[in-house]
Homo-oligomer: A and B are copies of this chain.
Amino acid sequence: MSGSLAIIGLGPGGDRYLTREAEEALEGAEALYGYGPYLDRAPARAGQTRHASDNREEATRATAALSHAAQGAHVGIVSGGDPGVFAMAASVCEEIAAGPESWRALDIRVVPGITAMLAVAARAGAPLGHDFCAISLSDNLKPWDLILKRLDAAAGAGFVVALYNPVSRARPWQLADAFARLARHLPDATPVIFGRAVGREEESVTVTTLAEAERIAADMATLVIVGSAETRLIAREGRAPLVYTPRAVEKVIA
């Protein structure tokens, strides 16, 4: 009997971003693993077991799900956003690489989801309309110096930058430091977007400038997009401005 493991992206927020493929994968799983609030978003299915774990216990969750699948079960792991972007898919691969040979025989499937930067960008207009990059500011997995080096490289070469995991309780100073670093390369007026809890009722999207950005509160549910020197605003009466990065580069970047 051959087991399988599907790593299923739910998208951010409620169920509006759920894809057909994700719905089918949730339905097909005999056992679902994941962070409790994500599990709660999967519709109940008779006979399906649920295994909730804490948000930070990725490795333990991956190991438990792989062990379960290796017994021949069809197992799912739910992931907010896209499982491939700073989420469970890499964690599962890491455990397979370090685990028993039998885990390599499993049918492993990643079901993509709408990742937070796409949802936040959609709310604001088209800030990711030109070249962009995604950086996790969580420095428990890499040195802060490397994060600074990447911020320099990205802003210096004209990429729009999406910042995941912008702050944590242990390191509340990180995001302000990142803005200060980006400001070495970018004008004060560069548009910055804060998207929090996008797709949920308490959703909020704030558009500000790089000079003002450190005044805006952010937490681990926030995704921040910092424009490039090309990113611009369209003011609209009675509506939030549209933020977009044109497809064509006009300015010459030295």
Residues of chain A touching chain B, judged by Cβ–Cβ distance below 8 Å, are 9, 11, 15-21, 82-87, 89-94, 96-97, 104-105, 108, 110-115, 118-119, 121-123, 125-136, 141-143, 146, 149-150, 152-154, 156-159, 232, 234-237, 239, 242, 244-249, 253
Report 17 cross-chain contacts, Cβ distance below 8 Å, ordered by A residue.
Answer: A84-B126, A85-B118, A86-B130, A90-B129, A93-B244, A93-B246, A94-B246, A97-B244, A108-B125, A133-B133, A133-B154, A141-B248, A142-B249, A146-B253, A150-B157, A150-B158, A153-B157
A122 to B123, CA, bound (A): 25
Q: Which of B112, B126, B157, B237 contacts A110 (CB 8 A)?
A: B126
Q: A247-B90, A248-B142 are in contact. Are A19 and B21 (CB under 8 A)?
A: no
What B residues does A248 contact at CB under 8 A? 141-142
Does B131 lie within 8 Å of A132, measured CB to CB?
A: no
User: How many copies of this chain sit in the oligomeric assembly?
Assistant: 2
Please give, as numbers and ranges, the residues of chain B lying within 8 Å of A234 by CB-CB distance: 93, 96-97, 104
Residues of B within 8 A of A156 (CB): 153
Hey, which chain B residues are within 8 Å of A86, CB to CB? 129-130, 247
Point out the residues of chain B lying under 8 angstroms from A123, CB to CB: 110
Which of B132, B146, B249 makes the CB contact (< 8 A) with A158? B146
Given A90-B130, A111-B122, A153-B157; A11-B17 close (CB under 8 Å): no
Task: List, in ascending order, chain B residues with CB within 8 A of A115's CB.
Answer: 118
A26 to chain B: closest CB distance in Å?
Answer: 13
- Asked if B249 and A146 sit within 8 Å, CB to CB, the answer is yes
Q: How far is the CA of A177 from the CA of B7 in the complex (A)?
A: 35
Chain B residues with CB under 8 Å of A149's CB are 157, 253
Question: Across the interface, which residues of B come within 8 angstroms of A9, CB to CB?
Answer: 122
Q: Decide if B131 touches A93 in the complex (CB within 8 Å).
A: no
Interface centre among A91, A158, A247 (most CB of B within 10 A): A247
